[in-house]
Amino acid sequence: MKMSNLYMPTLRQVPAEAEIPSHQLLLRAGMIRKLVSGVYSYLPLGYRSIRKIENIVREEMDKKGAQELLMSAIQPRELWEASGRWDNFGPEMFKLKDRNDREFCLGPTHEEYFTNLIKDEVNSYKQLPLIIYQIQTKYRDEKRPRFGVIRAREFIMKDAYSFDVDEESMKLSYQKMWDAYDAIFTRLKLNYKVVQGDTGAMGGKISHEFMAMSDVGEGRIAYCKDCDYAATDEKADVVIKVENNEPMMEIEKVYTPDIRTIDELTEFLNIDKNRFGKAIIYKASGKPIVVLIPGHRELNETKLINYLKIAEHELEMADENTIREISLADKGFTGPIGIKDARIIVDKRITFMRNIVVGANETNYHLRNVNYGRDFEAEVVEDLLLVEEGDICPKCGSKLYIDRGIEVGNIFQLGTKYSKSLNATFLDENGKEREFVMGSYGVGVSRSLAAIVEQYHDEKGIVWPFVVAPYHVIITIINTKKEEQYALGQKLYDELTKKGIEVLLDDRNESAGVKFNDRDLIGIPVRITVGKFANEGIVEFSLRKSNEKEDLKAEEVYDRIITAFKEEGFEQ
Ligand code: ATP
Ligand code: MG
């Protein structure tokens, strides 16, 4: 491709809303453009990289015997009613009506649709196992679209679904997909971790997430260095000891004027945070609940949502009026004793704590020496806490570390949730009707593009690995007006292109500085500069990632490129 013809609208300034490097660089490099919040177009360079990611995904899925198809983005309401997810997905689902008032959604995912398809077409165990997938556009009206294509409202996903005769066989399909994902993310050169995930609204029990490690990742991962335990913070079990054998003391009411938070109380009463019972007040499906956890820890809302068996969007913080209604006090003074008309839910650890400080349900007062069992009772949940660095590994007892990551893929063991609700059955060997045992498997194709940029960039721009680079090589002609430079650049371009190398020729009538800045910004891995030694047939060769320059004869360039491919383990 000659850059004099290339549609590559680079930007000097990026909008302030682009907070992270991948968002800024993909915009600046003219690879993506925003239409409205969370909705992006892929411009020529960006789309070349997207297609490369798609192809890698496709190849690895096909190797495992998965078959590609393409389904519609539009799905009728009835399908989603049957699984119970029409309401469950809540405001994240884009809904629409046709001219006859029939309701549809733009598919945020396709479990229902695939199950429905298979239900009518696959009747016998002989047709199983089956894994089918598509690479398609998904729609989710995200609460907080951000970070460009990382959390978009329209994005490209590879979604696969497996259908098996039983659990055991489904686990084999699951493992196949796990292996395919390992191959995909390894080929994409991502530094990633596989971690246990929460199954949440998807249903099923076991899931794993593939996290591209990055400080800007929205996902927090707890992992152990001494064993293979790794889980998202939503999922990670918290093991802490709070037992103490102090004798229970008399309850005391203490005056705490305008002292509301645990931090303020710690200072005011000069008591450690772990001596408090922290009350958090929510509305769950419109009804107030008070959750009490140890004062020095944070609540894990996902664990609470799972316990309550509600959808994520049904949990909201209680407003001040609700707080006043149930506790007869202002915000900041809620406690478990004397609450009216609200469920009280405690983390198990509260039941082992002695003589804790809690809100008195009276403005400006707290209670000291409160004890579970003697002074109040509640629904007890084994673990409602958010994991923290330094917590004990639930598997080996060693120490847990926390890192951040971008979820680029996940795999779920769904069991029969969808086959049951959609009545999807087959006949087994004995002619008995059984429900398909399913799995579902997603890769964020467009999100992966951004995750790669997060891991491969420097202060000048993107530093693409060969596998996803929009082009492998950029030939920069320093001065296009110089006949010999132009001719040599053109000749090299023709030769390399003929040999199957993807080459950009910067033949634009711009200054060398502009050209150098652009090539570094768009991150093409091999840089060939045709300049003052063109008349001797000599060009400068360098790699974007190392910046070391070599002078080469034009005839040597092809071999040097192939060596660079090999060094990176890249096969064309
Ligand atoms: P998240 O926790 O980030 O919201 P999710 O659990 O909702 O992700 P899935 O429903 O499992 O995601 O979707 C499969 C894959 O699609 C994810 O692993 C992710 O890579 C990608 N993905 C999900 N939501 C988005 C989005 N809003 N924008 C871009 N990619 C997304
Ligand atoms: Mg999501």
CATH of the domain at 359: 3.90.960.10
Supply 152's token pair. Answer: 């978009």
In this structure, what CATH number is given to the domain that contains residue 546? 3.40.50.800
User: Residue 465 domain-assigned?
Assistant: no
CB 436 within 8 A of CB 425: yes
Same domain? 432 vs 330: no
446 and 315 both lie in a single domain = no
Question: Could you tell me the distance, in angstroms and rounded to a whole number, from the CA of residue 97 to the centre of ligand 1?
Answer: 25
* 557 vs 534: CA distance, rounded Å: 13
Q: Does ligand 1 come within 6 angstroms of the Cβ of 92?
A: no
In a domain, residue 550? The reply is yes
Q: What is the pLDDT of residue 175?
A: 98
From the CA of 135, how far away is ligand 1's center (Å)?
A: 14
Each residue's pLDDT tens digit, 302-359: 999 999 999 999 999 999 999 999 999 999 999 999 999 999 999 999 999 999 999 9
pLDDT of residue 202: 62
Residue 12 lies inside a defined structural domain of this protein: no
206: CATH: 3.30.930.10
Helices 445-455 and 44-63 cross at an angle (nearest 10°) of 110
| Residue 195 sits in the same domain as residue 309 | no
Strand ranges for 307-364 from DSSP E: 315-317, 343-347, 356-359
Q: Is residue 184 located within the same domain as residue 333?
A: no
Domain end, chosen from 324, 352, 381, is at 381
pLDDT in tens, 37-96: 999 999 999 999 999 999 999 999 999 999 999 999 999 999 999 999 999 899 999 999
Average pLDDT of the residues in 555-560: 98
* Residues 476, 442 share a domain: no
Quick: pLDDT tens for 496-513.
Answer: 999 999 999 999 999 999
Nearest CA to ligand 1 atom 4: 151
Q: How confident is the model at residue 244 (pLDDT cuts 50, 70, 90)?
A: confident
Q: Please report whether residue 438 resides in a domain.
A: yes
Distance of alpha carbon 248 from alpha carbon 53, whole angstroms: 62
Q: What is the mean pLDDT of the chain?
A: 96
Classify residue 4: in a domain, yes or no. Answer: no
How many Å separate Cα 358 from the centre of its chain?
37
Domain shared by 409 and 351, yes or no: no
**For residue 291, is it within any domain?**
yes
- 489 and 409, same structural domain? no
In a domain, 461, yes or no: no
First to last CA, the chain: 18
CA 444 – ligand 1 centroid, Å = 6
Structural domain boundaries enclosing 343? 252-381
Do 106 and 186 reside in the same domain of the chain?
yes
pLDDT of residue 107: 98
The answer on 478 and 429 residing in a single domain is no
Indicate whether 327 and 426 sit together in one domain.
no
Alpha carbon nearest to ligand 1 atom 14, residue? 442
Indicate the residue among 381, 415, 434 that finishes a domain: 381
**Residue 243 pLDDT:** 74
DSSP E strand stretches across 83-214 = 94-97, 103-106, 130-139, 154-164, 192-196, 207-213
Radius of gyration, alpha carbons of the chain: 29
Q: What is the 266 CA–ligand 2 centroid distance (Å)? A: 36
Q: Are residues 230 and 256 in the same domain?
A: no
In this prediction, residue 540 carries a pLDDT of 98
Q: Is the CB of 157 under 6 A from ligand 1?
A: yes
185 and 275 co-located in one domain: no
pLDDT of residue 76: 98
User: Of 346, 381, 416, which residue constitutes the final position of a domain?
Assistant: 381
Give the strand pairing for 343-347 and 287-294. Answer: parallel
Q: Residue 389 falls within a domain, yes or no?
A: no
Ligand 1 in reach of 568 Cβ (< 6 A): no
Question: pLDDT tens digit string along 157-201?
Answer: 999 999 999 999 999 999 999 999 999 999 999 999 999 999 876
Total structural domains within the chain = 3
3-state DSSP: the chain helix, strand, coil percent, rounded to 5?
30, 30, 40
